[in-house]
Every structure is written in C-alpha cells, then in structure tokens.
A and B are shown apart, each in its own frame.
Chain A
Amino acid sequence: MSSWETNPVLTIEHLTMRFGGLVAIDDLSFNVGRGDITALIGPNGAGKTTVFNCVTGFYKPTEGRVVMHRTNGEHYLLERMADFQISAKAKVARTFQNIRLFGGMTLLENLMVAQHNPLMLASGYSLAGIFGLATFRKAERQAVEKARYWLEKTALIDRADAPAADLPYGDQRRLEIARAMCSGPELLCLDEPAAGLNPKESGELNTLLQYIRKEHGTSILLIEHDMSVVMEISDHVVVLDYGEKISDGTAAEVKDDPKVIAAYLGVPDEEVDAVEEEVGI
C-alpha cells in the first residue's frame, strides 16, 4: 500500500468539469499523500490547471468531490467552499502559472498580505490597530519575523523593501512560493513552479520544495513540465491526458508506462499503420 492510499491529505473523487460542451476533466479520481510531493503531469491542454482551479475553488466542479483532510482531523469539502475560505480554513495555498504578485508592493508587504487573516484578528478588525494597542504590535512583529524567515529561505532578504515587480523572473517565482507559505498551508499547490527557470534555479527550487516538505510537513501538489524536477523530487506522479487519468504511481512506474509514452511522444508508426489498416484508410 502506498502512502497516498493509506494517509491522503487530499482526495479527489469522480471530479468532472464541463465548460458548455467541452469536457475539461472527465471522472478523475486520485489521492495526494500527506507529506508527499505529488506531481500532476500531462501534455498541454490535458486539464491540469483546471484540476488546480477546482481544488482551490476558482472553478465550481460540475460533478465530484474534493476533500481536504487536515492534520487536526478536520475534513473540508472544497467543492462547496468559497475560494478565499479554502485558503483561510482548509489551509490550501496555491501559486499561479502566470505569476500573480502584488507588483507595486514590496516583498515584505506581499508576505504581510498573505498573513491577512491572523493579523486582522489581532488588530481587532482594525479597531485595536488604529489605536496601536500592544497586542496588535506584537502580532505584527511576529508576522514580520515570519516574513523575514521565508525571505531568508528563498534568498530574497536583500531585496525585502524593493517592489515585487522589479524582481527577475526566477525570484518572482520563489517569492510567490514564499507568499503562499506565509499563509501557513498544509497543502501547497504549485502551478508550473519551474517554468522559465534556468537549470541552476530549478535545482534550487528542488531544494526549497524538499525543505518545505521536510521541515514544515507541508504536502505539495505540483504541475510541472520540467521532467528533471518531476523525476527528482516527486514521490507520486499522476498523468492526465484529455481530462482523464492515464497513469498513477511512483515516478519510476509512470516513466515506463506505455500509455504515458504514447501521450507524450505519440505511438510508433507501425501501430498507426495497423490501426489505419483496420479502419481501412
């Protein structure tokens, strides 16, 4: 028994998403193991980002169930929750394929916004904050310390007071991960975190993700095209094609699955000839 079957952090059951007549995801079921790094791969247009949007509440699935099992024993049916509650209550954080930072705000401010909910509570919904009460000042100091920690971990501390839009591309990707981590998630969903990174940066990303998983116990679900990242760090790989799951297992198992090879590389010419002969072209 693999860990994702015995102790899942997220279970997706019979998930279907239709946009009008287009079926983006068709009856998809898989588990994300607690403490695992799970990779969701597949050719372009396979429906990977749609799965993410369903999990994080940006889309309401047409059918199916998405359950988050938190460490404290609480269960959340994500398909019924508003997107902001999924982050606030179910503790699922995400990043975006096209980076979405608060470009006009500094790195530190970006990480402070991520800690909005605990800070809002500490500021007594702004009332205690306006009068500068000590409880709020203490909470704010702690938030800054948490932000400093993540800035150090992502090697962005030198530019803490610079606007986020000024950062180079690779740094922006890391900042987005730091920002997601500041919201204290138990499941971190990363949409193509290595896209546009050079080999050195993508190596650093691997180290960062493994650190997050090991030190913070955060489970990671990631969409990735970069096979070096997928094969090196993931414990569990799920392959999608045309909205359906075609393979599910460890990285080594998936790599040798003929269906996966066919989806990525196409089938050998002889097979195509055989099928063509069958239908009579």
Chain B
Amino acid sequence: MSAKSENLFMVSLKDAAAGGAVALALFGVLIGMKAEVASGLGGQLGIEYRWAAVAIAVAIVFGGRLLLNLFVWKTDKPVTATAKGFLPSAKPLAKLGKYAMPVFLILAVVLPFLLMSAYGSRGSRQYLDLAILVTTYVMLGWGLNIVVGLAGLLDLGYVAFYAVGAYSYALLAQYFGFSFWICLPLAGILAAFWGIILGFPVLRLRGDYLAIVTLAFGEIIRVVLLNWYDFTGGPDGISGIPRPSFFGIEFERGPGGFADTFGLEYNSIHRIIFLYYLILIMALVTNFVTMRLRKLPVGRAWEALREDEIACRSLGINTTHTKLTAFALGAMFGGFAGSFFATRQGFISPESFTFIESAVILAIVVLGGLGSQIGVVIAAVVMIGGFEFFRGLEEYRMLVFGLLMVVIMVWKPRGLISTRMPSITLSGKKAKGISADLVQEGHG
C-alpha cells in the first residue's frame, strides 16, 4: 500500500514538474517580460520584469497538475467518478423537458405582473427590459434554429437579416412615415428577400466555405450601412424611430393616449409591458410556425438535408429550393426581430449589428442543442440573462462565461437538449427521442 502510494506520488510529482517547466518556459516570456514605454527613461522603450507573476502562474500549473494527477488521472479511484453521481443524468432532465414547456410559457405570460407586484412599477422596469432582451434573443435563436438546427446550414452572418429588418423599419418610417404595424410584415418580407438573394450564390457551397461566405455577407451588409451616409446616416445611425402604438393608440400622456382610453393612470411602464408582450407573441409565432413546419414535408426535407444531401437528391428533392426556403424563413424571423429592435430602441446604428451578435445567437442555438426549441430558451435565459445579471463582476464575467461554455461542452457536447423527437409516428403514440449520437449535425 505505502510503496504504491509512494510510487504514485513520485510519478505525479515528476509529471507536475515537467508541466511546471513548460509553464516556466512559456510564461517566462509571455508574462515575465513586458515591453513598455518607461516614463523614467524619457520615452524610450524598456522592459519591465514581473517574476513574481511568473512564479504564481508556474505554481498554479505545478500545483494543479499535481493535484489532478494525485486525485484524478493517475489514481485508481478518481474523484470525478464520485462527482459524476452528483451531476443530473440525462433521463430526469428529459422528463423535466415535458413539464418545462408549459411552466416556461405560464411564467413568461405572468412575468410582468409578478415583477410589478414584487418591485413596483419603477423597480421592475430594468427586469422587464432584461426580459425583453432575452425574449428577443429567444426569437432570434428560434429563427436561426431553422437554418442551423434543422437544415444544418452553418450561418455565421445571421445578424445581417436582423439589421435588414431594423433598417427596413427605420428607413420606411423615416422616408415614408409608415407605422410599425405596416413595417413589421414589410421588414420580414425584405429580410426574406435578402435571404434569397444571398442564398442563391452561397448555398452552392458547403461546410466551412458556407460559414466563411455567410460571415462575409454579414459584414458586407454592416459595412454598406456604415458607408452609405446619404441614405442610412452611416455611423450616426437613425434616431427618432417611431414607437409602436397599441393598434393605433399611442402610449402617451393626456387624452387619446393608451392610459386615458382604458381608464388607467398614465405610467411609462405600460409601453414596456406592451413591448414585452409584443416580442413574446412574435417569438411564440416563430416557435409555432417552426414546430408546424417540422411536421410538414418541407421540414422533413430540411432534416433529411442535414442527414444526407446526396440521398435527398436521389429521392427527387430539389435541395437548392429546400435550402433557400430554410434560409429565407430564418431570415424573415430575423427581420421581424430586427424591426422590433428598432422600435424598442428608437435609435439604431451599424454598431448594433456586429459579428459578435451573430456569434452570440449561434452560441445560443449550439448550447441549447441544435434543433431543440426549448434548449434555445434555456440557453438564451442563461446566456443573455446571466450576462446582464453578472454585470457587477465586470471583466471576470467573461471568464465565468467562458468557463460555463467549456463545462457545458464537456458535459453535454451536443447542447443541453440534444435528443431529437420524431416528427411523425406510425403507432400514433409519442415516440421515444432519438439520441444525439445518431443525428447528423449537417455539413454545410
């Protein structure tokens, strides 16, 4: 016993020392020396040495590796085996999924009233704003889920359609004075139109090439918006975008306003609550349409396309058209969300439509589980909600965020909810979910 544990300790120590040496070689240069314009030297470039920081970094690597060796990697009884028992296994989680849907829905519907009663109309405003933001991302996630999750086309430029929607509303309102309710469908149609225009050349490509080109198209739209100063206002953006009305009734003080019409006392929170319900309904419509389409031939063709494109063509499916419908539909929902974004903010500029937005939406879809609607909701709540909630942590929240992503990807590499539900069953009963191991991710 003692000889064996002694041996384990020596082996671990050696391994940790090797790790420490590698860390020293790397951090000695990376952390240890910092080129700086030293003020004492009259503006000359000097090198500042930080050996204490190097020592800490090396000590962390050495210590960490030693502990991991002793308790996880080299021992017969790794602690992770014990820890695994505490992690929730997939089965009860799937059961949870059955009840999660109605619970989430009821919670989403009563949320404004819950918040109002808990924090009062003044205090609940920031939480409502956060809820609107999260719901917007849920809608965007659901829109992108059609393209990435169902059709298996990796789209890195989804934010372009969000931008098209937002600018469509802003410009139509600015130049023609159209109201939100006219612009909403127009914005969706225009975004879908752009989806088709971009889709035609792009969808011949597959895999990495498709990803790169969609990324480029996303950037092109932003750069055009930025540089076409006469039309879009360039970096100044567009301000004074009209607020939405309650089907013609404005949210304003005085006679004829929303509060007056319904005999309420005027409160600015009314508009926020209205915006919340607006985006909630828009998101639910997105969800409803997607769920319906999944059970229709076109939805099955999307999923078949993700599984095997060549087999699809051998069965007489026009893959170009099928891809285009997915692309256009995803773009349309992005456009709806975009015009909502414009009317909520009252001001838009190209700043809001950078690549990082596409990346966040894609991350929501991937973390939630490709093709899973409820997964997108959970991921959006955790990511966007968590992101805003931990604003107090300042730069460390990025660290926490990164760590969280790594943990999810190790624990559930195919996203939180990764089982696929069949779209139709022969028995008529609810079929068992299909394990993610069997489902393809799509190749382009």
Q: Which residues of A contact B (CB under 8 A)?
A: 56, 58, 83-88, 93-94, 96, 100-106, 108-109, 112-117, 119-120, 123, 125-126, 129-130, 144, 147-148, 151, 157, 160-161, 163, 165-166, 179-180, 183
Contact = CB atoms under 8 A, between A and B. Distances in A.
B289 interface: yes
Interface stretch (B110-118, B262-270, B314-322): B314-322
The 4 closest A-B CB pairs, nearest first, are A104-B439, A88-B316, A87-B316, A102-B307
A168 to B, nearest CB: 14
Contacts of A180: 314-315
B316 A102 contact: no
Contact of B427 (A86, A161, A165): A161
A83 B301 CA distance: 16
> Of A113, A147, A165, which is in contact with the most chain B CB atoms at under 10 Å from its CB?
A113
- Highest count of chain A CB atoms <10 Å: which of B293, B300, B311, B317: B311
12 contacts: A84-B316, A96-B310, A101-B308, A101-B311, A103-B439, A105-B300, A105-B303, A109-B300, A115-B297, A116-B297, A129-B298, A161-B426
Which residue among A84, A94, A144, A183 has the maximum number of chain B CB atoms within 10 Å of its CB?
Answer: A84
B311 A96 contact: yes
Contacts of B425: 106, 108, 160-161
A103 B304 CA distance: 9
A102 B308 contact: yes
A151 B313 CA distance: 22
B426 A126 contact: no
Given A108-B425, A123-B296, A84 B307 contact: no
Contacts of A148: 426
Contact of B431 (A100, A104, A106, A112): A106
B422 interface: yes
A255 to B, nearest CB: 32
B130 interface: no
A103 B440 contact: yes
Contacts of A104: 303, 307, 420, 434, 438-440
A113 B312 contact: yes
Contact of B311 (A86, A102, A130): A102
B424 interface: yes
Contact of A129 (B297, B314, B315, B319): B297
A117 B316 contact: yes
A120 B322 CA distance: 11
Contact of A109 (B296, B318, B423, B435): B423
Interface in B402-432: 420, 422-427, 431-432
Contacts of B310: 58, 96, 100
B413 to A, nearest CB: 16
Given A104-B434, A144-B424, A161-B425, A93 B300 contact: no
B434 A160 contact: no
A80 B289 CA distance: 37
B318 A130 contact: no
Interface in B281-302: 289, 292-293, 296-298, 300-301
B297 A102 contact: no
Contacts of A87: 313-316
A120 B304 CA distance: 14
Contact of B315 (A103, A130, A151, A183): A183
A160 B315 contact: no
